Amino acid sequence: MRRINVGNAGLQAPVVVTGCMRINQLSKAEAERFIQSALEMGACFFDHADIYGAGKCEEFFAEAIDMNATIRETMLLQSKCGIRPGIGFDCSKAHILASVEASLKRLKTEYLDVLLLHRPDALIEPEEVAEAFGTLHQSGKVRYFGVSNQNPLQIALLQKYLAQPLIINQLQLSITQASMISQGLHVNMAGDAAVDRDGSVLDFCRLKDITIQTWSPLQYGTFAGVFLGNPQFAELNRIIDALSQQYGVTNTTIALAWILRHPAKMQPITGTTKVARLKDCVKATEITLTREEWYKVYQAAGNVLP
């Protein structure tokens, strides 16, 4: 699979990120096959979080692959912290350091390639985050840093205090959940599509060389379901199916190719635990939709042009 520069700090990674939020739903043999297949496809950038399966997903991942130093060097591992079920959000120095230590233990590794703050914390103290990131970076326990679900001013506030650049922002984006794109098309318009809900985060990330990783790329709503094959999106599926036939690929491939066509060079995060579906996702890196096709898909999802 082709690789891209993630941010501007020297990290090169596969275009498609393999999400591991549901990996503990597999048997150990199935998980091993899935991870090995991902490595063979070049989809070796694995996304975790401390809350996925209450930590069980990280632990299960390492057990399934029989993690060791040799295997570790064949992959990139990313995890997230900051969500505390039953409490809220916690980006304090103490919680960041404790969370990373726990993730390293569960993943049976000495370092994370990337650590992201999972959600904005209303009580965040940037100076504490800077201390935590500095400790983790200097000790070699985390190589690169980023955020998830943050707007431009939240990122700028953090970056003011950090010695390390924030190279990633995870944001929800799919054909049916594309407000960060639509608001940029409806500047100075009166309709709902013009509402800026995220501070022009797409343009900000491009301006600051922050790579956007898109989560739920096949979902509508937040976690309402998949739009592919869904009669609620009949026209969208008609257009996608026609393109699938034209390119000789699946509808999953076309849906991810739509995201990859955007010049921001975003990284879709897969949510599948099926090898065949992951192959379809990886195949999207070989498809380049035309401008006409991209806009046709965009409008078929109910998005309007000004």
Query: What pLDDT, in 10s, does the model give residues 26-36?
Result: 999 999 999 99
Radius of gyration of the chain (CA): 19
pLDDT at residue 195 tops 90: yes
Q: Does the predicted model carry a pTM greater than 0.85?
A: yes
What's the pLDDT score for residue 87?
94
Query: Domain 3-223+261-287 belongs to what architecture?
Result: Alpha-Beta Barrel (3.20)
Q: Sketch the domain layout of the chain as residue ranges.
A: 3-223+261-287
- Of 69-83, 183-197, 261-275, 288-302, minimum mean pLDDT range: 183-197
| Residue 95 host element (H or E) | helix 93-107
pLDDT at residue 160 tops 90: yes
Catalytic one of 52, 144, 220, 298: 52
pLDDT at residue 5 tops 90: yes
Q: Residue 266 in contact with residue 288, Cβ under 8 Å?
A: no
Q: Does the active-site annotation cover 52?
A: yes
Indicate if the alpha-carbon torsion angle 277, 209, 220, 175 is positive or negative: negative
What's the pLDDT score for residue 224?
83
Mean model confidence pLDDT for the chain: 97
pLDDT at residue 170 tops 90: yes
Cβ-defined contacts of 126-132 (< 8 Å, 24+): 126/157, 126/158, 126/160, 126/161, 126/162, 127/161, 128/91, 128/92, 128/93, 129/91, 129/93, 129/96, 129/158, 129/161, 129/162, 130/161, 130/162, 130/163, 131/93, 132/93, 132/96, 132/97
pLDDT digits (tens, 9 = 90+) for 202-238: 999 999 999 999 999 999 987 789 999 999 999 999 9
Pairing of strands 166-172, 142-148: parallel
